Amino acid sequence: MPPEVEDKMGDFKAAESLIGCGPFVLERYEPGVKAVFARNPGYYAKGLPYLDKVEWLFVKDRSTQLSLFRAGQVDLPFYDARIPRTDVASFKKSNPTYPVVFWDWLVFALSPSARTRRPFTTRACGRPSPSPWTARSGSTSSSRGRGGKSRAPCPRPCANGGCPPLSWARGRDGSTTIRPSLGRCWPRRAFPTASRSSARTGPATARSTSRRLELLAGSLKQIGVELQIVNEEYGNYIRGSFLGKFEEASWGPSSLFTEVDGYLYNFFRTGQPNNRSHVADTELDVMLDAQRRYTSRSSRKKIIDDIQRHTADRVYYVYTPCPKNVSAWTPWVKNYGCKNSFDRGAQLEVVWLDR
């Protein structure tokens, strides 16, 4: 942080303290209305960005956001241009010239995690299974035919994390065949033996997200487990999920990382803040540390695959299918592309308007 800002302003709470080296700099901030960013004249990439200004409008209501977008009053409907999958068909009819793109996000399948100090994660039937009970018709319909097989714990877009599901779900006899009967008995041991359990989750702000949790509860009900959904205030959810305040399961997305170490080390290494299931596995810790030391790509890939097989065998988390995102933008926005990043300035660096 620049010390001169602290010397002048005392802290970094004011919008005017936002000093950076990105393609755009803050020009004006109107609380509750909008933030205006102007082209950075000192940007290191000569000739970029192409846009002179970017206006971020603070519109809380999702339906209002989409109405403005359909009418062409805003160029992007959301910070990463996402639109609800449920609205895709009607949107294509009302705005046939707008580009619509399906894409994979670097967030692994929304997953209920369970405290491993409780009897949640015992292996069942002598064979692990990659959640066939959550991958049936319900999850497929939720994805509108655009669902993706979960390559948990590493998301599908991870270049060096592609361990195929059937590979990391291999049984002790070497077989990779998933039998539905075995899959159905597995969740009984992944959740408490009682017929009732609860899952704490954050505010259900997205219709698609809340719908997936409802589908999960319906799948569990088919094998005799009644899952009670408890919506927590966001701060309580974060503290309870990561600090172990919840005694039963919590449910929510992973953070977004661009390297598989983020999904492996953060979620499974003993003592890590992101270790939601409070995994404490010495054998796994050794492998997690080792994959950080390998410089050979092939050697590291082998141990990453071994880590995924190990975690699938122990079932420390339950992974559900992760549908593709869908994004759209106005036809006069050129050179825009879906990007796995929170750096929206960089995403707009090479974009221009043709109107």
263 in the same domain as 306: yes
Count CB neighbours of 280 within 10 A.
Answer: 14
pLDDT of residue 135 exceeding 80, the answer is: no
232 in the same domain as 153: yes
167 in the same domain as 20: no
The whole domain housing 150 covers: 111-314
Query: In the prediction, which pLDDT does 73 show?
Result: 95
Looking from the CA of 326 toward its CB, the CA atoms found within 13 Å total 19
pLDDT in tens, 65-103: 999 999 999 999 998 999 988 899 999 999 999 999 999
- Looking up residue 101, the CATH number of its domain turns out to be 3.40.190.10
Which secondary-structure segment (H or E) carries 200? strand 196-201
Name the average pLDDT for the chain: 77
Does residue 255 belong to any structural domain of this protein? yes
Query: In the prediction, which pLDDT does 206 show?
Result: 53
120 in the same domain as 49: no
pLDDT in tens, 313-347: 888 887 776 778 899 999 999 999 998 888 888 88
42 in the same domain as 131: no
285 in the same domain as 338: no
119 in the same domain as 89: no
Between 92 and 312, whose confidence is greater? 92
- Looking up residue 288, the CATH number of its domain turns out to be 3.10.105.10
Question: What are the φ/ψ torsions at residue 328 (nearest 5 degrees)?
Answer: -145, 155
Between 255 and 9, whose confidence is greater? 9
Least confident of 72-76, 100-104, 201-205, 288-292: 201-205
Query: In the prediction, which pLDDT does 165 show?
Result: 47
Does residue 321 belong to any structural domain of this protein? no
Query: In the prediction, which pLDDT does 207 show?
Result: 55
24 in the same domain as 160: no
Does residue 299 belong to any structural domain of this protein? yes
Total number of domains in the chain: 2
Query: In the prediction, which pLDDT does 72 show?
Result: 94
| DSSP SS3 for 156 | coil
Looking from the CA of 69 toward its CB, the CA atoms found within 13 Å total 30
Does residue 323 belong to any structural domain of this protein? no
Query: In the prediction, which pLDDT does 112 show?
Result: 58
Does residue 275 belong to any structural domain of this protein? yes
Query: For the residues 158-186, what does the mean pLDDT come to?
Result: 44
pLDDT of residue 298 exceeding 50, the answer is: yes
Does residue 195 belong to any structural domain of this protein? yes
- Compute the Cα dihedral for 137, 142, 146, 151 and give only its sign: negative
125 in the same domain as 65: no
pLDDT in tens, 28-47: 999 999 999 999 999 999 99
Query: In the prediction, which pLDDT does 131 show?
Result: 43
77 in the same domain as 133: no
168 in the same domain as 60: no
Cα 289–Cα 293–Cα 295 angle in degrees, nearest 5: 145
Does residue 144 belong to any structural domain of this protein? yes
pLDDT in tens, 105-125: 887 665 656 555 544 433 333
Query: In the prediction, which pLDDT does 293 show?
Result: 95
Between 149 and 7, whose confidence is greater? 7
Does residue 322 belong to any structural domain of this protein? no
193 in the same domain as 97: no
CB 77 within 8 A of CB 330: no
